Structures are given as structure tokens and as C-alpha cells.
Structure 1
């Protein structure tokens, strides 16, 4: 055994710690390996496979490694080939790939059509759902609602929820369950059978449950099974794995319940807590040493995640030095955040080991706009160009187009229902049949469509508004559309009716306004959106070593960077309002925040504005004592003794950083009244009547220099 590890140290330069070696050699029976961030789990898994082959003479064909994503499978294959180039291939695959293999074999004699993976197919999953939604609501489904419906269906399938329990579920929007039921019935009754990706899992499990010959074949194919990222595995996926290992029970499950961030995809982190219920003789090990991050980051993140209750008790640690203190900034606004980020980036010589992480993809659009203007190269881990095709964006563009081409009644018909004219369904159908005219569209509409008196009055006012838009810069145009044409009112109404998230829709409009602000004309605005769409598409596919990385916290899992900036850390974003109302969701939001923090090796900044996230406040309370403790443990430096300063007693003085926040009115004992412009754990900036000053926060508190006004 020791020869194996010594040999790999000589050959690869890979040296495992005591726990990692134990995980490699514990090959018989069920093993749950709980691996903290940066603990070297992939290296340990690959070494375990090599140990089975080289030391125990297990054939590579008898080993199965299951991953959560294709990227993970690819990474493990590459790592295995690099570590053990002389060995035969091992079967690495995703759980979906394995399920498809079982399903295809089970349905070998039956005709079926795979309806996912090709949306151009007439019978594609998304096309069918669009049709069923239209039939149910007499309204086309938006891309947002379609994604929510697809996720909901996947959630139900992966949870293995029976049809009789569907009605008890919270729908993503009204009638979602009815549309789901229609979709399932259509697939079942169609000849040949229709199958989507989620069906592959349920069909595979059903096949293994009912076809003993097929089950026996797959059980005898492998003697050792390993699963990676198992905190992201659903109930149906766990059930498939359980059946595969039932004969030999040589299962190694590698997971971290603290990094389970996909329960909305039906992941079951609770399964890890019940592992011994499934496998009473299971051996549970904890890989707690972090090789990635500084001591300060590791200690803070470890204490932060302990606030969650539903978890295995782990204590992440590192032997790396404490390094830089965490930077926690609360800025005045989202615009101030953007300016700060740009200023920080301008001071870097290289962007390749820097990442900006956020909860939602919508956060990336303004960043991308500014980075593109400044020529800073960037890569987007999970770029989402649906922003540019979103119906809200298209509405604003159609309003603008119509204002410039008022004879285009076809353009007005696209946005008429989004205005304050209260068009009926019959009137909208008439508008849709009208062709562009030589006169103003409203004149043609007045002659063609039977209107009520109040509607004639409203479109008269609308005409004045549209005429005025022609001379406005795009920012004022958008604000006039929202206010004068009733677009904001329409959004609120549609959000309530169709179960849309109003905050998200308003965020899109806010982003459009910020893109529009520096531009002089509507044509420039439309051109800029086209440019940004092209930049987004390019940023998804082009990646070089000198590029800044933009990513959601979800997609950053598994990555690491020297410098990490977590942005938009405000209540309502992380955690969301829904998270705050549900204990389980709040724990998941904290896990997501933890994942973001632990991507950083050396430099970590948490940036908020407005209503600061409760998680930032939790980290601040943890980080400040840790920093003071680290400072007190540093070797003493010989300095000349200072004269003791008498501190006047001031019972009204601020004694804690928690009492201070940006925007607060403050009185400095020497400089008088001012307003806090920025504050972090080290410094406080104050704008006085005639000047701006920065002070060391510790000195201000120690000498009782500040009072709240």
C-alpha cells in the first residue's frame, strides 16, 4: 500500500494526506466521503480508481464512476488519463447517460421518439408545452414561464411524486399542473411513445424494478461504483444507484452536503444525512482540509456554514497562512457598485485569475456593457442571452420603432395590449389583421376598429406621447413608456395574472435604462443591444488565460480563483424573499453563498448596497473577531513605547461597527458633522461640509471619536 502512494508521489508529484489515503484504500462496502471545498476530492477519487486497478488487480471494466454533469465526467476522464496513461479506460458517465443506456435497452423492441435535445422538432418538448399553454390560457407562453414549467416537470419526475399528489404542489403559475397532466397524457397516448430526458430516469428505474434479467445484467457489469457530487443527485437517481450496487454494495459516494445548491432541480441533500439508514454498515469519512483558500477565508466560511442545522458536522481547516483580511463593502447604489468594480479591475495587471460572481444572470448585463466599453476581456461561464430576446426588451424596442414609424400599425398591434387603452381580445384581433398605412396608424385604427369614447380619448393622448418620444433620448423614452403609456401598470397586472415575478421584470427595465443612459438616440440604443447580444454569444465560447470570469454562484462550483468579488449581495437577491420565508430554502441560500466564498484562494470581497444581505452581516460578525485574533497572534514587533493618551469619556460614542452604515449622519469629535460615504472593517469615509476624509475605524472606536446624529 505504502509503495503505491510512494510510487505516485515519485511519478506524479501527488502526495495524499492521511484521510485521503484512507479513502483510497477503503474499497469494500459502502463509503460516504464528505469532502469540503478545496479538499482534493477529484484527485482522491482518481487515485482510488488507480489503487483498485494497480494494487488490487481489479479490471478497469469492472469499475463505474458516475458524475452529475458532463463537464465533471470530462474532467475525471482527463485526470485519469493524465495520472494513469498506461491503464485501460474506466467507464465514466453522467447518471443521465447511464439511464439512457438502460432505457434504450429496455425499449429495444418498442418504437419511441426522443423529444428533447432538438427544439426544432415538431414534437419537441418545448413546442408541445407552448401549444398546451396556449390552449389552456389563450395566451402565448413567455420564455421565462416556459423555463419554470420545464423545471417544475423535471422536479416532479425526479422526486418520483405520484400523479395523485400533484395537486398538493405549489404551481410555478396558475394551471401549470393541468398543462403538465395534458403533456404527460399526450406522450403516453402517442404512437410511437414520446420520451424526454426526465422520462429516461423514471423508465430506467422502472425497468430495473420489473425486469430482473436486465437488473441482473447491470448488477453484474461492475464490482465497484463511485458517484461524485452526490449532494446534487435526486431521489430517482439515488434509487437507480442503490439497485446497481445491491449485489456487491461496494459503493463510494463522494459529496458535500454544504454545497448542495440544486434542490430546485430535485436534488436530495437530506439523503446524505440518512445514508446509514440505507447502508447501516456504511463507513463515513470527512475530508476537511482545504488546500485552496487562505486561513482567513477558510475560518470565516467554516463558521458561516455552521449556522445551517441540516448538515453533517464538519470543521474545514487549512495549513495555509491567514493571508489578506476579507473585504466587506456596502456601497450607495448598484451604480456605485459598478464604478467600484471597474476601478478595482483597472488596477490589475492580469484578469485571468479573477472572478465576479452573482446570484442571477441578470446581474451580468450591466457588467458586460461596461467591461465591453472599457475593452476588458472577459469570459462568461453561463452566459444567458435570453435577456436580449425577452419579451419586455422586445416590447420596449417595438414602442420605440412605432414612435419613429407611426404608420406601422403592425408594430402598434404588438404592444397595444401592453398600454393603458384597455383593448378587448376582439379589437386586438382586428389590429393584428391591419396592414401598414400611409397615414398615422391611429387614424387608420379609428376608421377600422370600433372604439369606445374613452378609448378614443386614450389613444389621442397616446399619439401625443408617441410624437414626443421622437425627440427624446432613449432613457427618457423608456421612462415615458413606463409612466405615460401605462407599461408599468400592465406589468403588475400580467405578473399577478400569470404568476410572473414582478421584481424580475422591473429589473429588466432598470437594466435597459442604465444601458440607455449614455446614449443620444433610440437608434443608438437598439444598436447597442445588438452589439451586447453579439458580445454575450462570443463570451460564451471564447476563453483565454488572461480573461476575467463572470459567473453565477451556481455555475462557479468546482472553480477557483485568486481574487473573487461577490456582488449584488442584497436582501431579495440572496436570499430571495421566498428563501427568507422558508427554513429549508434559507439553508440552501446560505450554502450557495458559502460556495461563492470558497471559490477564492487569497482575496475575497463581499459587495452590497441598499438593503444589505443578512449573510453579509453574518460574515461581518464572524470576520472581525477572527481578524483581531489573527492580529493578536502575530509575533510582537519592537517599537518605542507610546505616550498613553487620555481618552475623554463619551457615553454617546459609537462603540461597534454594527451601529454604522453608509448614508448615516455622523459627528466626528474633531471635524464636526458629516455623512458616512463608505465603510469596511478597516476604514470609514466621511463627507464633511468642505472636505472628504478617511479614518481608521479601529482608532475611531477606540478613542470614541464618533457619535450618531
Structure 2
């Protein structure tokens, strides 16, 4: 604990407020609910809400054990507990929704049902495959994964098998090529198989607890007596099922503080929805609303790009204005923009750039390469390995589940029973881990040996951090370090492992690095080709916003014109960077001639024509009572606005518009193109 943390933990309550900016201070002073905190990326929301809890406890407004703070990842919950502990607050429950619900369900199950709770499925695959067999459909591994995801979506969205067909049709959901009726039957069979095997899934934990609280007054009363104040982080990602449990916890009370940012809603495919955040003031007209807009994470260059990305979206969609961040850091380097010839060149170029950053003093663990799909990681893994740069792939095996880590903790636990308290704890840790294969120097080559060393080195570095106490504090001994490891393992709060992070944009949410490389920013990947509705494309834009705001200092954006070396340069840079890529405004002013080679190579399109095509599509969708994307998707409209076809043959060459749609819409589209070419007033 630093001297500043020790002062906050033991000093007067006002010292907690002195550590906050004016907006964060408003959050901390809003001790009674309902409270809504709209917090932009990098604005210190965790700091604000942990100081709010600490201030409430210090002033006597809260009892520590009466506060339940829920968030969406074990890592975030672990960070919240650590910060509260540094502020001298012990006893507050900071957990994920599932962890909090599982604890309560396990406690009350013997009283309400009797016996032990059912076993929880770690994976749905086997049960989904059995359900598929029973309803007579053929599935492979990919189909099982997609169907399992749809089962999860239906449950967190509170859509039963009986209601699924109607709900799926209303939302135009398509799953692995199966029609909604078939998926509905599979969901029903899935529940039957679970019941026969006496198992439940993670969604059942929330469903059963919600039902238990709603149906058993004594259980609900006991929970509500225990928890009187609630904090929900990342509220834009709450699902209908999580909101149901939260409503049961509250029991009509209003002592609720929610924190979120609609601009960071990126998990709607899992059932998350910003609806509850956006309608919070409607449900609680008396709510205090505080906006956090001072960005302490990123340079003005990064913040400026993030603001422009969302402002551009807001103008085009006419939606609610997003939070405009105000950078607090000094000016940094300009943002890098690079168009590579192919994927291999992009991976190699990024690896070379990372090598220069590392040579200049940036730690590999403070660098990340972010991409849209996990399949993109292979090229970067190969390029980094060739360059001799260590890396980790986020989403791989969890740190505390690695064999070398589990074995090391067993050795440390055994050594703790007889460790000499006179020997500094980090020194003892090093001695113990040497027997597990750790050495002072890292292996020269990459591979399994280096990965094992990286894991053990992370434990050594953590021991040094834990031992770095103030001079007047008692030194941390080996038993205390083992206890710290156990707590981190239970919360999956892994220490930092040295190496460049490779991660999908979704997996990067909640994280940050000194240097970020956003790769593969071409149409079809950003936005992903599956985003065939306006809302789907809007969410892809928010995903890019999340990626941009992960960078503290260095940010580089890139795409490859073709997939393979020597291939045709057919890829177009993502539309989200139209007007933001360097010199884009100049190129836009000089609109290329119809069908020119320059237009095809640069991926430019006529913005006015594109907007006119979208307005026409909206009218058709309204008249036919169909979703807009079923007429033509945005990517096809952009291609039309780029190629500016003058004949049916020209139109037929554009991907995404087949013979049937040409027959139906072709004449109108060609007339729209011709109208865009006529001088104003003609």
C-alpha cells in the first residue's frame, strides 16, 4: 500500500474526496440512490465508485457488509476489491452477477429445496449435441457452438422455447442455417436433457435465484436485510435476466447506483442491452445523473479520434449525442495510419514497429494488437515469433489453470509451513520456484519452455509487488503471499505476464495499454460482414471506439489491401474511417469520375449518393414492413455509391445485389444514381 493509499485508508473522510476531480467528487457525494453515472472511456469510473463506497462507509452512511457491488468480469471485481482494501474498506461484496447469485443460491438451496444444489455445466456442447440428436438435426462442432450461443441468448433474454420462434422472427435472428422452429425445438430438448442429467447451466443460476427470491418471501427478506446498497458497473451490458435478479435484490427500494456508457455497448449478440441504462431516468425520475468526461487514460490525439468517430455516427444516425471526452494527458505522438499490400505484410510491419517500441523502452506487456476475429491472430503470432518478441493470446488458457502455475502454488503452500520469517519473502519465492524450473534469465527461444518461464516470472514479479510495503508496516511473509495467490485464483485476477497481448476487440474491453495496434480495419472485418442491419453496423462502430480508447499513448490503425501476397487489391478500408483517414477530406472534395480505377482502389464513395440510397431503402422497408437490411445491406449501398453504375450490367457486377433484387429495385437505383449526377436545380 502506497503512502497516499495509507492516508486515504486511515485519514479523515474528506481526504477521500480530495483525491477526486469535481465530477468524480459529485459521484462520491451522491450517497443515496438512485444514481446514474454516465462514464466515458478512461474517465476513472472505478475510482469514482470505489471512493463513493469508501466515503459512505467512513461517514457511517453504509455498513460495509450491506453493500453489494456487481460487475461483469472477475478481473474487474478483483480490481474493485483491491481498491477498496487500499482505501481501508473491508467487508464489501464486489462480485460478478453470476458469482453473487451462485453464492446466494448455494446458501438458500438446502433451506428451500433440500440437499446440495445441482452440478453446474462447465460447457453446453455435449448437452446441445444430445438435444440436436433428439430433434433429428445434424450438427458439427461449429453448429453446436452456434446453437449453444443461441440457447444462452434465449435464456438471458427471458425467451422461452415456446416464445423463441416469434422472438427470433421479430429480430431476424439466423442460427447456423436452422429455422426458428427447429431452434425452438432444440431449446426445449436442451432443457429436457439437463433435467434428466440433474445439471444446471450458468444462466439457470440467475433464473433459479430470481425465482427463489420472487417465490419465497423469507429468502427475499433475508437477502434484502443483508444488502441495502447496490452498485452495478458496466450497466450498458445488463441483460434482461440480470435486471430481473437486480430487481429482486432491490425489492422496490431505490438505493441503486449504476455506471455505464451507451457508446461501449458491444455485447448485444449475447443478450446485453443498453435499454436499462438509457431508460434509467424514466424509471427513476428523481435520479441524480453525473457525467464523467475527463479522460485520464489517453492522449489528446487518441481522444480526438474517438470523439470524431462517434460524432460522425451521431450526425448520420441522428441519435442521442455521445459523451464527448476531454483529454487530460499531455499531447502525444500522431496516430499512425498504414495501408499494407497484404495480411502477411501487415503482420510483419506491425511486428517491426513493436520491435522498435520495445527497443525504445516500452514493456511488451504494455503493447497490444487488437483485431475483429480470433482467426486473425495466427499471422501476428507467426510474425512476432519470427521477430523474437514474446506474446500472449487473450482467451487462451487461464493463468491459474496452467499446470506450471498450479504446481508452483502447491510448492509455495508447502514451503509456507516451514519458511524462515527472517528471510525476505521474495527471496524464498525465488528459491522455491527454482525447483519448479524458474531461472534468473529467460530462455532464449520461444515455445513451451519460454511460456512456462513467463508464468513463473509473473509469480516472482507479483511477490516483489506484494512485498513492497511501507517502512512502518509489517513485512508480508510467505503464508500471506500464498493467501494473496488463493484470493486471486478464486477471482481469476491474474498477475501481469510479460509479452505483447493479442486479443479480439471484444476481449479487450476493460483493458488498456501504452501502445495499441488496431489491425485488419477493412470492410468485411470492420464492420464484420455478418452485421447486416443498421443496428449491427452501429455496434461495430462502437466496437472500434472501444478499441481506439484502449490506447494510452501510441495508436496505429492499419488494413491490408489483399489477403495473400500478390493477390488482387480488392479490399476497401472500413467506412468508419471515412473522413478521418489522413488526407481523406481532400480526396473527398475531388470526387473521382464514375468507374475510375482510382475510385475502385481507394474505396471512396459518394457520401450524398450513399445517404440518398439509405433514405430510399428506409422508405421501401417501411412500405413493405421488413427490416431495412433485407432490402440491401449498407456494404452494397456503399459499393453502388462507389461504382455509380449507369446500366443494369454495371449494377449486376456489384456484390450483394442479385437478379431478383435487380428486377425489383434496379430501375429505381439507376435513376437515383443519375439524379445524383445531375447539376442542382436541373
TM-score class normalised by the smaller sequence: 0.5 to 0.7
Task: State how 1:492-641 maps to structure 2 within 5 Å.
Answer: 546-579=498-531, 581-610=532-561, 611-618=571-578, 620=580
Task: State how 1:261-272 maps to structure 2 within 5 Å.
Answer: 261-272=266-277
CA shift, 1:533, in A, is: 9.2
C-alpha distance in 1, partners of 2:507/2:206?
A: 23
Aligned residue for 1:291? 296
CA shift, 1:246, in A, is: 3.3
Task: Report SS of the residue matched to 1:554.
Answer: coil
Mapped pair 1:37 → 2:41: yes
- Residue deviations 1:397-442, cap 9 Å, x none? xxxxxxxxxxxxxxxxxxxxxxxxxxxxxxxxxxxxxxxxxxxxxx
Mapped pair 1:181 → 2:194: no
Aligned residue for 1:233? 238
Aligned residue for 2:616? none
Aligned residue for 1:132? 131
CA contact (8 A) 1:298 1:318 kept: yes
C-alpha distance in 2, partners of 1:592/1:184?
A: 33
CA contact (8 A) 1:8 1:15 kept: no
Change (3 A) 1:14 1:148: farther
Mapped pair 1:107 → 2:114: no
Mapped pair 1:172 → 2:175: yes
Aligned residue for 1:491? none
Aligned residue for 1:368? 381
- Residue deviations 1:485-542, cap 9 Å, x none? xxxxxxxxxxxxxxxxxxxxxxxxxxxxxxxxxxxxxxxxxxxxxx989989998998
CA shift, 1:279, in A, is: 1.6
Change (3 A) 1:114 1:572: farther
CA shift, 1:595, in A, is: 0.4
CA contact (8 A) 2:106 2:117 kept: no
Mapped pair 1:204 → 2:217: no
Aligned residue for 1:246? 251
CA shift, 1:97, in A, is: 1.7
Task: Report SS of the residue matched to 2:154.
Answer: helix
CA shift, 1:158, in A, is: 0.8
CA shift, 1:215, in A, is: 1.5
- Residue deviations 1:545-589, cap 9 Å, x none? 65211111111122222211100111111211221x211111111
Structure 1: gaps of 5 or more residues: 120-124, 386-530, 626-652, 667-674, 680-709
CA shift, 1:618, in A, is: 3.2
Mapped pair 1:219 → 2:179: no
CA contact (8 A) 2:13 2:59 kept: no
TM-score using structure 1 length: 0.62
Task: Report SS of the residue matched to 1:161.
Answer: coil
Task: State how 1:112-123 maps to structure 2 within 5 Å.
Answer: 114-118=118-122
CA shift, 1:248, in A, is: 3.5
CA shift, 1:172, in A, is: 1.2
Aligned residue for 1:638? none
CA shift, 1:260, in A, is: 1.4
C-alpha distance in 2, partners of 1:613/1:112?
A: 55
Give the one of 379, 382, 390 matched to 2:395.
Answer: 382
- Residue deviations 1:649-697, cap 9 Å, x none? xxxx97858869xx9779xxxxxxxx99999xxxxxxxxxxxxxxxxxx
> Number of matched residues?
484
Mapped pair 1:277 → 2:282: yes
CA shift, 1:379, in A, is: 2.0
Task: State how 1:72-471 maps to structure 2 within 5 Å.
Answer: 72-84=76-88, 87-108=89-110, 109-110=113-114, 114-118=118-122, 125-137=124-136, 139=138, 141-142=140-141, 144-168=142-166, 169=168, 170-173=173-176, 174=178, 175-188=182-195, 190=196, 193-306=198-311, 307-308=313-314, 311=320, 313-348=322-357, 349=359, 350=362, 351-383=364-396
C-alpha distance in 1, partners of 2:63/2:588?
A: 67
Task: Report SS of the residue matched to 2:354.
Answer: helix
CA shift, 1:378, in A, is: 1.2
| 299-308 or 194-203: bigger deviation | 299-308
CA contact (8 A) 2:332 2:553 kept: yes
C-alpha distance in 2, partners of 1:678/1:329?
A: 15
C-alpha distance in 2, partners of 1:206/1:265?
A: 22
Task: Report SS of the residue matched to 2:41.
Answer: coil
CA shift, 1:159, in A, is: 0.7
Change (3 A) 1:588 1:623: farther
Aligned residue for 2:62? 58
- Larger Rg computed on CA atoms: 1
- Root-mean-square deviation (CA), in Å? 3.6
TM-score using structure 2 length: 0.64
C-alpha distance in 1, partners of 2:90/2:354?
A: 46
CA shift, 1:315, in A, is: 1.6
Aligned residue for 1:482? none
